[in-house]
Every structure is written in C-alpha cells, then in structure tokens.
C-alpha cells in the first residue's frame, strides 16, 4: 500500500481481532460503570466526565530516562457544570498518588479502575471554578485502548534512552489525570525537567526556564490525547513557514542531514492548504521523529505517525515520507483545530480528510493527472469488494481502518466531484472556520454542504457514509 502503508498496517490486525475486543468491552462496561463515569461517548462509555469542564492543565514533569521514573505535579483548572458535584472524578491509571489538593486544600481520594475520585469537604457549586492538583510518581505503565488490538499499547512509552507520549484515542490518562475525551478540549502548559544531555519537547511554544527544564505553552485548546511529551537525544532542524510561522523539527541526534531534504515539503504544503482551507491554526509547528530504540521497544511506535497538536509524532523514516508528513500536517486543521464530538461517528472526516490531503499532495506535485491516478487506484481497490466501507459509524476496532481512511477520503473526493472545486473548498473552509478550536459532527458537514450547494446534501452523505453498496462516483 503506497502512501497509507505506514498507518494502514494497523488495519489488518484490528479487523481480525475485532470480536475479541468487543467482548472485552461489554464485560468491562457492565462492571465498571459508576454514576459519575462517562462523558457520553457510546464507543467509550466510561471515558470522561460530563459534570465539569477542564479549562487548563499545568503539567510539571520530571523524568529520568536512566531510571524510567516520572515525578509529576499536575494541576487541572476547571468549571463545575451543570449541577453541584459531591465527587470530582477524573480519568487516571497507574503511578502512586502521594497527595491530591482541591483549591489548595488537601483532599481525600479513592482510586478504582481508571478513575481517581476526589471528595470535596462540601459539594462544589454549579458554575464554580476549581483547581485540582495531583502529585504522583512511579514507573509509567503502558495502557491499551478498545480502538487498538491488544498488542498495541501506548500512553507514556519509555524506551532505553528516552520516552514519548502517544495516546490517541484514550490513553492520556495512563500518564496524567484528565477528562480524557475530545469534548473537553483545554489549553496546556507543560514544564519538563530531564538530566543532560536529554532534550525535552511538548506541544506549542517552548522556552528554556532552567538548566535542565523547558516550558511549553499551547494557548489554543487541544485534545488530551493530542498532548505529547518527548524526552530523548534529538537534534533540531528549524524552518520558517508562511507568515513567519516558526517550525521546529526534532530528529534523532546525528541523523539531521537525512531529514533536511524530506522536510522541505512542510512549508510548501502549509501554504497550499492555507490557500484552500484557511490559515494554519496554531502559533507554531514542528515534528518529532523518535529514534529507532523507541519503535523497536514498542509495537505501537513501530509504524505510527500521530497528529499531536502543533508537533506531530513520526516513527523513524515515516517523516521522510511526504504523504505521511502532509497527512499529519493536515490533521492540524482537521482533528486538532476542529475535533470529533464522539469517536465512532466523527473519525471518518478526521482520517478521511487527512487521507484525502495525500491526494491533494499528488495534485500539488503532479497536477490533475497525478490526482486522478491516485483516486482511481484507491477507488478500484474498494469497488472490487461487494460491500462498501461505509465509514460513517465505526466500532472502536475499526476507527483506524481502511473504513475511515479510504472510505472517508473517497467521500471527500465524491463531494468535490459533485460540487466542483470552488464550492468544495468553500465547504471545507467554512467547516473549519465555523468550528475552529471546538468540536463538530457529521450534522455540521451536512448543514454547510447543503447551504453551499443550494440543495439537500443529506442523501449524498447517507449514501457515502452509511450505505451498504459501493457508491458510484459522481460524473
């Protein structure tokens, strides 16, 4: 498989192991569901909490790759909403918690499953602001996800010589206490201390604040799973993007020269996308290519690229692949700036549009002929099947499968054919603009497409997203 081989690799496993995974979920949900659990995502019923909204996280981390010990002090600032809370529960697993403070005062807490429950002395009033500080330490443990076959585990991934956090869709609570669902986007400050000569990096704009400490600020709301930290031996390659956008690339120390040429596509494609779907949404960009030791020690990291906000992650080599580089870059608009409302119903437009951007890259480089050839190959591979991929409603195990990537990408191609270039990009631009820094769903696509097209577009989306038969491409 060409451009999507790297990410597509997850596909075959998830398809084979699907029955096993869904059994596990039914079992778990029946036993673990407590009254305060779950923000309401049908695919991940116990994830998150709808009783409050985290607005900002301050993560103070101290990590020593030699001992693989993480010491953390995490403050979640939030607002209680909509009813008073007698228990504040957050998603969190692993580590030893030494203290929890609520609004500065020591608070009692319990832990069970993947929840940390804090009991305020008296209920928190509806609408009140709170600060929850959790102090913990230990050796980070990997966690799994219903979206991934059991051999893939993520969260804070330690490897000999460093660590990198890879968490999509629901593994962030394996290393920090959070409301671990896309409906609760928040801003982040991440302060990381590691001994020399390790380099530390996280999302947003970084500065050095001490001999071995850096501070990164992400001032636009991000998904918990799109927050990353990398500690390792990195060399740095800087670039400048459109409108003086600072771009910082972290590549394995000593391999810098191998990446100079492949990374040239980034500023060009930022410009290309900005011209079509709107300005790049964050104050900085960059990439982290983690070293061989990382991908050798963890299956998930073997083949992974991930759109962590403003600074996507790449397995070694995958950031030399222009299609993969541009795919994760496109996610900055689609997935990071505008995010899902629930995983199963919205992942198609996140992965589908990022995959579609690989066709746009072919078009940027080789014009219409190259674009048509890429589409033809993708459509041929699926139209030979008796069943359509119908990407619109996916079980956890299919979230990162051909169904979302190729089914979603072809849906965007069909939309472009139906509307023509001008109206198609108008729809995408309006979608990103209207929902920037928030969440959106298929309803929002239908609404904007209908308005731009001047005709009811629901039948079109029904066919491409939910129909059983392989749809015919509009002529």
> What is the contact surface with ligand ARG in residues (CB under 6 A)?
7, 10, 148, 154, 168, 300, 304-307, 327-328, 331, 354, 400
| Residue 169 main-chain phi, psi, to 5 deg | -100, -20
Contact 187, 325 (CB under 8 A): no
d(CA 215, CA 210): 9
Q: How far is the CB of 365 from ligand ARG (least distance, A)?
A: 21
Q: Which residue is nearest to Zn ion (CB)?
A: 354
Give the nearer residue to Zn ion in terms of CB position, either 116 or 277: 277
Q: How far is the CB of 148 from ligand ARG (least distance, A)?
A: 6
Q: List Cα–Cα distances, 245 to 227, 278, 280, 379, in angstroms.
A: 20, 15, 9, 36
Contact 368, 13 (CB under 8 A): no
Chain centre to alpha carbon of residue 337: 10
Phi-psi map region of 121: left, alpha, beta (phi>0 left; psi -120 to 50 alpha): alpha
Cα angle value 417/328/367 (rounded, 5°): 40
Give the nearer residue to ligand ARG in terms of CB position, either 355 or 426: 355
Scan for tokens 């992965």, then name that residue. 351
Give the nearer residue to ligand ARG in terms of CB position, either 300 or 409: 300
Residue 306 contacts which entry, ligand ARG, Zn ion, none (Cβ below 5-8 A, type-dependent): ligand ARG
Strand, coil or helix: what is 131?
A: strand
Give the nearer residue to ligand ARG in terms of CB position, either 10 or 428: 10
Residue 168 contacts which entry, Zn ion, ligand ARG, none (Cβ below 5-8 A, type-dependent): ligand ARG
Residue 189 contacts which entry, ligand ARG, Zn ion, none (Cβ below 5-8 A, type-dependent): none
385's CB contacts (< 8 A; 6+ apart) are: 470
Q: How far is the CB of 270 from Zn ion (least distance, A)?
A: 17
Give the nearer residue to ligand ARG in terms of CB position, either 114 or 449: 114
Q: How far is the CB of 306 from ligand ARG (least distance, A)?
A: 5
Q: How far is the CB of 41 from ligand ARG (least distance, A)?
A: 15
Q: Which residue is nearest to ligand ARG (CB)?
A: 168
Give the nearer residue to ligand ARG in terms of CB position, either 187 or 228: 228
Contact 93, 114 (CB under 8 A): yes
Count each helix (H run) and each strand (E run) in the chain, helices first. Answer: 12, 20
Q: How far is the CB of 305 from ligand ARG (least distance, A)?
A: 6
Looking at the DSSP assignment, which residues form a beta bridge with residue 313?
Answer: 288, 306
Q: How far is the CB of 369 from ligand ARG (least distance, A)?
A: 27
d(CA 331, CA 465): 20
Two tokens, residue 262: 């492949």
Give the nearer residue to ligand ARG in terms of CB position, either 165 or 354: 354
Window of 142-150, 255-263, 343-351, 408-416 that interacts with Zn ion by CB under 5 A: 343-351
Window of 200-208, 310-318, 354-362, 440-448 that interacts with Zn ion by CB under 5 A: 354-362
Give yes or no for residue 167 binding Zn ion (CB under 5 A).
no
Looking at the DSSP assignment, which residues form a beta bridge with residue 455?
Answer: none
Chain centre to alpha carbon of residue 28: 24
Q: How far is the CB of 340 from Zn ion (least distance, A)?
A: 12
Give yes or no for residue 354 binding Zn ion (CB under 5 A).
yes
19's CB contacts (< 8 A; 6+ apart) are: none
Window of 74-82, 347-355, 367-375, 453-461 that interacts with Zn ion by CB under 5 A: 347-355
Residues of this chain that interact with Zn ion (CB under 5 A) are: 351, 354
């Amino acid at each position: 498989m060409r451009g999507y081989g790297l990410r597509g690799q997850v596909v075959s496993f998830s398809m084979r192991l699907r029955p096993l995974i869904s059994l596990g979920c039914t079992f778990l949900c029946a036993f673990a569901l407590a009254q305060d659990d779950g923000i309401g995502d049908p695919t991940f019923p116990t994830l998150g909490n709808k009783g409050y909204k985290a607005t900002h996280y301050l993560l103070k981390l101290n990590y020593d790759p030699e001992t693989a010990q993480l010491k953390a002090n995490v403050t979640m600032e939030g607002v209680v909403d909509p009813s008073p809370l007698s228990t504040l529960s957050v998603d969190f697993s692993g580590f030893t918690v030494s203290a929890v403070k609520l609004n500065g005062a020591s608070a009692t807490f319990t832990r069970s499953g993947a929840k940390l429950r804090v009991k305020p002395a008296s209920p928190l009033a509806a609408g009140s602001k709170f600060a929850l500080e959790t102090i913990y330490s230990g050796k980070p443990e990997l966690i799994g996800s219903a979206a991934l076959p059991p051999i893939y585990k993520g969260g804070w991934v330690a490897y000999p010589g460093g660590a990198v956090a890879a968490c999509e869709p629901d593994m962030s609570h394996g290393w920090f206490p959070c409301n671990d669902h896309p409906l609760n986007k928040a801003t982040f400050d991440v302060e990381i201390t590691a001994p020399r000569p390790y380099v530390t990096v996280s999302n947003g704009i970084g500065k050095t604040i001490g001999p071995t400490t850096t501070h990164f600020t992400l001032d636009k709301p991000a998904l918990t799973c799109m927050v990353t930290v990398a500690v390792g031996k990195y060399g740095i390659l800087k670039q400048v993007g459109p409108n003086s956008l600072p771009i910082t690339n972290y590549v394995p120390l000593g391999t810098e020269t191998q990446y100079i040429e492949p990374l040239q596509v980034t500023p060009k494609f930022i410009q290309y996308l900005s011209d079509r779907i709107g300005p790049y949404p964050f104050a900085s960009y960059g990439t982290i290519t983690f070293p061989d030791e990382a991908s050798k020690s963890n299956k998930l990291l073997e083949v992974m690229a991930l759109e962590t906000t403003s600074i996507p992650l790449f397995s070694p080599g995958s950031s030399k692949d222009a299609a993969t580089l541009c795919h994760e870059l496109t996610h900055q608009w689609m997935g990071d700036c505008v995010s899902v409302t629930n995983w199963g119903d919205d992942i198609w437009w996140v992965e589908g549009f990022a995959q579609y951007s690989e066709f746009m890259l072919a078009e940027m480089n080789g014009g219409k002929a190259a674009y048509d050839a890429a589409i033809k190959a993708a459509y041929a591979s699926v139209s030979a099947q008796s069943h359509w991929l119908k990407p619109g409603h996916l079980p956890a195990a299919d979230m990162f499968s051909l169904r979302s990537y190729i089914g979603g990408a072809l849906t965007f191609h069909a939309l472009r054919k139906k509307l023509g270039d001008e109206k198609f990009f108008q729809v995408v631009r309006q979608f990103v603009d209207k929902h920037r820094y928030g969440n959106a769903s298929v309803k929002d696509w239908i609404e904007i497409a209908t308005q731009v097209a001047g005709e009811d577009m629901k039948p079109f989306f029904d066919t491409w997203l939910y129909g059983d038969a392989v749809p015919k491409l509009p002529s």
